[in-house]
């Protein structure tokens, strides 16, 4: 499977991780698949992704963020998830989450908690960069059309640097 960056194949597809290609690559991560959903209104965002570190270590990433999340529950949820053998894409991870909404974080919890904590700390740094560059202004102003603006931003592709 090749890296997933860039041009969404369908108009409705979104990519947030495309904006952190350099940062992810520097940490040795390859994005295999990504699924981003933006809810209407203020633009709550959920990201499910399948990433790879080095040769064969695959893991899932789950992020949930938005104005309501920050106002009522605090910082965004950023979890590293264990990938089951049958999970081949971010959509597979998302389907599992939807089918197990209350216990997916327990069912997909990695066994190595030290590694989980390290990876989550690194992914939090990357997400903070993405949040500050792509979403913060929308969430701070609580625009009613934030979801549409965020969708348009996430469809943009970084131009190749020479």
**Residue 36: which of 50, 22, 57, 26 has the closest Cα?**
50
Q: Mean pLDDT over all residues of the chain?
A: 84
Q: How many domains, the chain?
A: 1
DSSP-H helix ranges across the chain = 21-26, 67-68, 90-99, 104-107, 113-134, 136-141, 146-155
pLDDT at residue 148 is higher than 60? yes
Q: How far is CA 18 from CA 6, 21, 70, 116, 151, in A?
A: 6, 5, 24, 23, 14
pLDDT tier, 140 (very low <50, low <70, confident <90, very high otherwise): confident
For the chain, how many residues are written?
Answer: 162
118 is a domain residue: yes
pLDDT score at 157: 59
Say if 34 falls within a structural domain.
yes
Domain span including residue 121: 17-154
Query: Residue 132: inside a domain, yes or no?
Result: yes
Q: Is 157 or 83 the better-scoring residue by pLDDT?
A: 83
The answer as to whether 47 is a domain residue is yes
Q: Which of 15-24, 68-77, 95-104 has the lowest mean pLDDT?
A: 68-77
Degrees (nearest 5) of the Cα angle 19, 123, 75?
A: 100
| pTM score of the predicted model | 0.85
Reported confidence tier of residue 11, pLDDT bands at 50, 70, 90: low
């Amino acid at each position: 499977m090749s890296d997933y960056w860039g041009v969404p194949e369908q108009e409705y597809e979104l990519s947030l991780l495309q904006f952190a290609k350099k940062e992810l690559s520097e940490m040795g991560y390859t994005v295999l698949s990504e699924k981003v959903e933006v809810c209407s209104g203020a633009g709550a965002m959920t990201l499910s992704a399948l990433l790879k570190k080095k040769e064969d270590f695959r893991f899932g990433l789950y992020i949930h963020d938005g104005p309501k999340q920050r106002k009522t529950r605090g910082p965004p949820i950023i979890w590293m998830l264990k990938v089951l053998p049958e999970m081949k894409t971010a959509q597979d991870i998302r389907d599992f989450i939807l089918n197990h909404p209350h216990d997916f974080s327990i069912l997909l919890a990695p066994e190595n908690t030290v590694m989980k904590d390290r990876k989550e700390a690194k992914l939090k740094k990357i997400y903070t960069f993405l949040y500050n560059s792509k979403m913060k202004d929308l969430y701070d102003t609580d625009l009613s059309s934030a979801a549409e603006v965020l969708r348009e931003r996430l469809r943009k592709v970084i131009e190749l640097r020479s």
